Amino acid sequence: MPLALTRTVFHPILNFFRLSSRLESKKKLSRSIAHIIGERPSNLRLYQLALRHTSASKETNIKGFRESNERLEYLGDAVLGMVIAEFLFKKYPYKDEGFLTEIRSRIVNRETLNQISRKIGLDDLIEYDGSRGRTMPARTSMYGDALEALVGAVYLDKGFNFTRRFVLKELLTHYDLEALVQTNANYKSRLIEWAQREGKEVRFEIIQEKGNSHYREFIAQVTVNDEPFTTGSGYSKKKAEQAAAEKAFELLQIK
Footprint on this chain of its own copies (rule: CB under 8 A):
60, 62, 65, 70-71, 73-75, 77-79, 81-82, 85-86, 89, 94, 96-97, 100-101, 155, 160-161, 208, 210, 214-215, 217, 219, 228, 230-231, 233, 251
Taking the complex as a whole, the smallest distance from the CB of residue 34 to its own copies amounts, in Å, to 24
Is 176 assigned a catalytic role?
no
Q: Looking at 39, 70, 111, 148, which residue is catalytic? A: 148
User: Residue 193: which of 245, 247, 139 has the closest Cα?
Assistant: 245
Residue 217 is assigned to a ligand binding site: no
- Give the residue with the Cβ less far from its own copies, 7 or 100: 100
Residue 87 contacts residue 171 (beta carbons within 8 Å)? no
Taking the complex as a whole, the smallest distance from the CB of residue 14 to its own copies amounts, in Å, to 36
- Long-range interactions of 127-131: CB distance < 8 A, separation 24+: 127/48, 127/51, 127/52, 127/53, 127/56, 128/52, 128/53, 128/55, 128/56, 129/53, 129/55, 129/56, 130/56
Is 127 assigned a catalytic role?
no
- Give the residue with the Cβ less far from its own copies, 20 or 140: 140
Residue 148 is assigned to a ligand binding site: yes
- Give the residue with the Cβ less far from its own copies, 9 or 62: 62
Taking the complex as a whole, the smallest distance from the CB of residue 62 to its own copies amounts, in Å, to 5
Cα 141 to Cα 149: distance, rounded to the nearest angstrom: 12
Taking the complex as a whole, the smallest distance from the CB of residue 139 to its own copies amounts, in Å, to 12
- CA 38 to chain centroid: 21
Residue 39 contacts residue 162 (beta carbons within 8 Å)? yes
Q: Looking at 39, 59, 70, 77, which residue is catalytic? A: 77
H-state helical runs in the chain: 2-10, 12-37, 44-50, 70-91, 97-107, 110-119, 142-158, 160-166, 177-182, 187-198, 237-252
Residue 73 is assigned to a ligand binding site: yes
Question: Which residues fall in the annotated binding site for Mg(2+)?
Answer: 73, 145, 148
Q: Which residues are catalytic?
A: 77, 148
Question: Which residues fall in the annotated binding site?
Answer: 73, 145, 148
